[in-house]
């Protein structure tokens, strides 16, 4: 199966002075339906990796950076913001740590927001997502009336609702208790597999990743002659 995302020889420097570091991505490839966990200590570069994969951060160096057969490195070099914005809006979904729901929209409107912004009409997937995530009875409620877990599940539904090629989840279970965290991650994995969507979950909870038995990449900081560098290392092939 052809890769939908492929990176090789990618680097990005962040910060200034003593706090600066460089993230190195030797090789990374994702196909439709793949699910990958990214772990590592705070400040190692996990968020930098998500920003690169989310096409919001330009790499300093990239031998290969392709997404859906588009040469992302070439788009950055040519200043192709329009092409990058189109890829982000149509083909990427994002789950924030805090859910990121809009307080003036009800739950269903929040879930449908990505579709509405793209000019897409109603889709049966919205109702299916609400049902699968146990949210149907809450669809008319505003975020303030929801629990933390309910808001997080709504954010997951929103990330999947427009059928993107890739969903990025940034510490999606940070505010959840362990049992709910496991349930939420399992739901994301099931949805990704069912709809052929690649999923990257960034987490500091290594125990949770082990329980999910996900293929894992760890961001490993290391000292170098040009300052602190972090590189991705494969940990398992679960």
Per-domain boundaries in the chain: 5-236
Structure token digits, residue 182: 């496991």
Interatomic CA distance for residues 20 and 73, integer angstroms: 23
> Helices in 92-147 by DSSP H: which ranges?
107-117, 124-132
pLDDT of residue 223: 64
Q: How many angstroms separate the Cα of 172 from the Cα of each of 67, 69, 156, 161? A: 23, 28, 9, 17
Structure token digits, residue 100: 């990121």
Classify strands 198-202 and 21-30 as parallel, antiparallel or unpaired: unpaired
Burial class of residue 54 in the structure, from the number of CB atoms within 10 Å of its CB (0-12 exposed, 13-18 middle, 19+ buried) = middle
pLDDT of residue 238: 43
CB atoms within 10 A of CB 159: 27
Q: How many angstroms separate the Cα of 137 from the Cα of each of 108, 133, 144? A: 10, 11, 15
For 77-108, write each residue's pLDDT tens digit. 887 677 888 899 999 999 987 778 999 999 99
Strand partners, 66: 6, 71
Picking from 143, 201, 196, 137, the residue whose alpha carbon sits closest to that of residue 165 is 196
Q: What is the pLDDT along the chain (238 residues), one digit of tens a residue?
A: 578 999 999 999 887 777 778 888 888 999 999 999 998 877 778 888 999 999 999 999 999 999 998 999 888 888 767 788 889 999 999 998 777 899 999 999 999 998 998 888 778 888 999 998 889 999 999 999 998 888 988 999 999 999 999 999 988 887 778 888 888 888 889 889 988 999 999 988 878 888 888 888 888 777 654 567 777 777 544 4
Interatomic CA distance for residues 165 and 193, integer angstroms: 12
Superfamily name and number for 5-236:
P-loop containing nucleotide triphosphate hydrolases (3.40.50.300)
């Amino acid at each position: 199966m052809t890769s939908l995302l492929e990176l090789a020889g990618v680097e990005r420097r962040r910060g200034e002075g003593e706090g600066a570091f460089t993230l190195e991505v030797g090789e990374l490839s994702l196909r439709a339906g793949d699910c990958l966990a990214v772990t590592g200590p705070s400040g190692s570069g996990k968020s930098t990796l998500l920003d690169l994969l989310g096409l919001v951060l330009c790499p300093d160096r990239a031998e290969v950076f392709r997404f859906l057969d588009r040469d992302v490195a070439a788009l950055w070099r040519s200043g192709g913001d329009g092409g990058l914005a189109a890829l982000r809006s149509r083909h990427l979904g994002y789950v924030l740590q805090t859910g990121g729901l809009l307080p003036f929209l009800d739950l269903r409107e929040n879930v449908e927001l990505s579709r509405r912004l793209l000019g897409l009409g109603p889709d049966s997937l919205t109702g299916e997502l609400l049902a699968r995530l146990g949210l149907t009875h809450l669809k008319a409620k505003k975020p303030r009336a929801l629990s933390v877990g309910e808001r997080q599940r709504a954010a997951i539904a929103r990330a999947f609702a427009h059928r993107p090629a890739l969903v990025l989840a940034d510490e999606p279970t940070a505010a959840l208790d362990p049992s709910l965290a496991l349930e939420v991650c399992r739901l994301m994995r099931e949805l990704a597999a069912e709809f052929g969507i690649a999923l990257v979950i960034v987490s500091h909870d290594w125990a949770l990743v082990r329980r999910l038995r996900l293929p894992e990449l760890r961001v490993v900081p290391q000292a170098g002659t040009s300052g602190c560098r972090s590189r991705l290392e494969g940990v398992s092939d679960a």
